[in-house]
A and B are shown apart, each in its own frame.
Chain A
Amino acid sequence: MADPTKDKTWEYDLNNLVIADGATVDGAFLSTRQRLFGIKEILINNGSTTFTAPWTVVSSSDSSTSGASDLWVDEFDLVWADDDTSNARSWIVLRQTGISTTFEVCIVCQEDSTSNDGKQIEVWVAQAGFTGGSTTARPTATDERQLRDSTADGYWGSGQVNTAYTSQTHVWMSSDGDCTRIVICIGDVVTGYWAFETPKNPTTGWTDPYFACIEGEANVTTSQVTYSRFLDNATMRGRYSGANTTMYLSSEGMVNDGIGEATGNGTQQQNQLDNSYIASQCGLSSTTSTFVGRHGEVFDMWWGLSFVGTGRYYPETGTKAFVQIGDFVFPWDGSTLIRTR
């Protein structure tokens, strides 16, 4: 497809460097704490960019105190606990009214072993508002949807345990707050991908629609932005009518592939007639019982050609209005993407 027109006005906080630091404090490497703290800071406009519709802190815990304020003052306020203990831990609830009035994400510093260096967290999202919470128990919400489970898949993009990494964090936010995307790069690989979004053209009946994900693995070699991750697996999560749902990011396809995968079958290249690189818009399709079907689209995100890889701009020079990261094409601000230091 030809270069698309963006639906949203995008704001960026890109190329945020965290230097590897293996000092272990309160169950986590220092650089891991800095990385997670840095994300929070960017989201609430304490980064280098002033977002038009930033997230706000609803409540938090620094493991010593909990309450309706931002107690994550610096990275040392992030204290991890083993998730099968009742030890004190840090958590934070952030709100983004661009998605819905009380769309909130709750991040909890807990992992399945205290020796995991902060490489795992638990994450929930909800729209009914998180309530409660203490230094030893996270807040809960009646409609909470778990994105990361520290007992099973708590990795969030900071790599594996026992190693401290240098990383680059990139944050996109639409000026209306509808869409927030976060990419974490370690060693040239997109090790973490977070998204909290309002879908485009949602089906009638899907009230207060949203989809979200936090993807990471216990390594720094697996890209989190791939056809495999989102086209072949229902990795996006949401809620409908009181039930948890999952969604695929569908693509125009043929045979067994998205067309960005199939093009060339090993000799991939861009469209040979018009040289276009962007393969397909991203749809949202679900096979969750009672939510089966195509329920919307993703604003301003496209499937790319898988052979291209991260760091290709469209157009290549000049405005650089789009960038391919992994198998996705994102809006871009014209700067140079930094993946490694």
Chain B
Amino acid sequence: MAAPTKEKTWEYDLNNTTFADGTFVGNAFESTSRRLFLIKEILINNGSTTFTVPWTVTSSSDSSTAGASDLWVDAGDLIWRDDDTSNVFSWIVLRQTGISATFELLITCEEDNAGNDGKQIGVWVAQAGFTGGTTTARPTASDERQLRDSTSSGYWGSGPPGVAYTSQTHVWMSNDGEITRILICIDGEFTGYWAFEKPKNVVTPWTNPYFATVQGDSDVVTSQLTYSKYYDSANMASRFSGIDTSLYMSGEGFASQAAGEAVVDPNQLTDDFAASAIGLHSLTSNFRGRQGEVADLWWGYTDTANRVGLYFPADGSKTFIQIGHLIFPWDGSTILKVV
């Protein structure tokens, strides 16, 4: 495909360094708490960028108090607990009206073992509004959709327990608030990918559409931006008509592979760098079919995936960047993956 045209106006808060600090505070490494706190700060415009449509905090808990305000004043307010206890813990609910009037994200500081150093969290999204919540119980919503389960898949990009890491955090937000993407890099790898998005060109019956993911693994060697993660697995989550759904990020393909896997380098005639636009396809019962598309994100060629800072086009404007197997809008700066 030819070099794409961006549909959105993008705003960026990039290259946010969190230095490794193994000090153990609130059941988590200090640097892990700071990393998660930083994400919250960036989303609500306390980062270096002023987003046009930032997220807002609707409620939170710092483990001492819970209420309808932002109690995460600094990283020390993030207190983890073992998720099979009734201990106090921290949580926060953030709202993004660009996706829908009450699209909300709930992050809970819980892990399946109190010795996991904050490397796990629980995450839900909902559109009906999270209500309730105390210092010992998270808020709930009637249409909540779990993205991370601290009992099984709570890793969020901070790596495995037992080691403190230095990281770079990058945040994209469209100026209409419809799309937020977060990338965490550790040791030169893309260890965490979070996305909260309104899809484009959705089929008519899918009202208040969204898809979201929070991806990470218990290591710092697995890229979270791969064909394997989203083309071969339905790792985008959503809801339709009262049921949880999951979605693949489809792309053009042939010979039992995506085009960017079957042909690992750019087009030999045109040097096009993007392999395919991205669709949203589900096999969830009652939601089966291609239900929409992803705006301003493209599948790339796998052979170019691990070249540090592969920017496009070649004129130096760096308006796109390939990160892992995906191509994102970019602001022309130089990406930092390691310090």
What is the total of A-B residue contacts with beta carbons within 8 Å?
A: 132
Q: Is B279 an interface residue (CB 8 A)?
A: yes
What residues of A have a CB within 8 angstroms of the CB of B5 in the complex? Answer: none
A252 near B252 (CB under 8 angstroms)? yes
B256 near A256 (CB under 8 angstroms)? yes
| Bound complex: CA A10 to CA B270 (Å) | 31
A250 near B253 (CB under 8 angstroms)? yes
| Bound complex: CA A254 to CA B276 (Å) | 12
Partner of A253, one of B253, B268, B272: B253
Q: Is B263 an interface residue (CB 8 A)?
A: yes
| Bound complex: CA A251 to CA B281 (Å) | 13
B268 near A249 (CB under 8 angstroms)? no
What residues of A have a CB within 8 angstroms of the CB of B283 in the complex? Answer: 262-265
What residues of A have a CB within 8 angstroms of the CB of B254 in the complex? Answer: 231-232, 248-251, 253, 283, 285
Which residues A214-268 have CB closer than 8 A to chain B?
231-234, 240, 248-259, 262-265
Indicate whether A253 sits within 8 Å of B251 (C-beta atoms), given known contacts A263-B283, A273-B287, A295-B269.
yes
Count of chain B residues near A, Cβ 8 A:
40
| Bound complex: CA A234 to CA B262 (Å) | 12
B290 near A253 (CB under 8 angstroms)? no
Q: Nearest A residue to B204 by beta-carbon distance?
A: A274
A255 near B232 (CB under 8 angstroms)? yes
A272 near B250 (CB under 8 angstroms)? no
| Bound complex: CA A291 to CA B265 (Å) | 11
Which residues B275-296 have CB closer than 8 A to chain A?
275-276, 279, 281, 283, 286-291
A250 near B290 (CB under 8 angstroms)? no
| Bound complex: CA A17 to CA B327 (Å) | 52
Q: Is B339 an interface residue (CB 8 A)?
A: no
What residues of B have a CB within 8 angstroms of the CB of A294 in the complex? Answer: 1, 252, 259, 263, 267, 272, 275
Partner of A257, one of B256, B259, B275, B290: B256
Q: Please give me the 9 A-B residue pairs with the lowest Cβ-Cβ distance, nearest first.
A: A271-B289, A293-B267, A253-B253, A248-B254, A254-B248, A250-B254, A205-B269, A274-B203, A273-B205
A-B CB contact pairs (8 Å), 20 listed: A248-B254, A251-B252, A252-B253, A252-B276, A252-B281, A254-B249, A254-B250, A254-B253, A256-B232, A256-B256, A257-B256, A262-B281, A270-B289, A271-B203, A274-B203, A276-B289, A283-B254, A285-B254, A291-B268, A293-B272
Question: With A204-B270, A250-B259 given, can you name 8 additional A-B contacts, CB distance below 8 Å?
Answer: A203-B269, A253-B253, A255-B248, A265-B283, A285-B263, A293-B270, A294-B252, A294-B263
